Amino acid sequence: MHIHTLEGYIQNIYLVEYPDKLMLLDGCCRADVDTVFDYITEQLKRPITDLKLIVVTHMHPDHAGGAHALRKLSGGKIATSNAPGQWYRGIDGFLMHLTDIALAWWVAGRLNKKRHNLWYSRHLDADYYLATDAILPGFDDWQALHSPGHTDRDISLYHIPSERIYIADLLVKVKGQLVPPFPVFYPKLYL
């Protein structure tokens, strides 16, 4: 296994490479779809169909925004938490979806990035809904760990052999300091 780190629109993208398959540790931004496609086909010289699994750790634009488009391009499957319902449900969810896209644009502006279309479906149509401690489909050396707090459906991805864990936005680096994400919707669960 080899983990490639790609510079995304407003976040790092982690692509896990095996001799016979690839996995994306998050669905990245809609603006990152071409970046992932080009990296797989041009840098790795592999067919896009080698992307077998796209994990969505939570529904924010930089973690879920490109998932549906990448599945359509690759034929890969989407896996996510088995939290009930949709994160962006109802009128409050619709408004929060718009707010999260605006926040992503704000972050991009702080990073001096051009504004890109970040619109993505507020409803995730996943192929797999992962219970806590579930093994990732097709990647039996990875395990999903539920780690709510930032949202009700955050998952972290544990690589069993190396004892490494991808925690997505459970901690973020701001001005060189590791801090809790904004917002933490469920502070008691986060603790």
pLDDT tens per residue across span 89-104: 999 999 999 999 999 9
What percent of the chain has pLDDT above 70? 100
Question: What's the pTM?
Answer: 0.96
Q: How confident is the model at residue 182 (pLDDT cuts 50, 70, 90)?
A: confident
pLDDT tens per residue across span 114-152: 999 999 999 999 999 999 999 999 999 999 999 999 999
pLDDT tens per residue across span 19-57: 999 999 999 999 999 999 999 999 999 999 999 999 999
The residue range of the domain holding 123 is 2-190
Supply the CATH number for residue 58's domain. 3.60.15.10
Residue 175 confidence (pLDDT) above 90 = no
- Model pLDDT, residue 129: 98
Tracing tokens 């149509």 back to the chain, one arrives at 125
Q: What is the tally of structural domains in the chain?
A: 1
Q: Which two tokens stand for residue 68?
A: 């549906």
Residue 174 confidence (pLDDT) above 90 = no
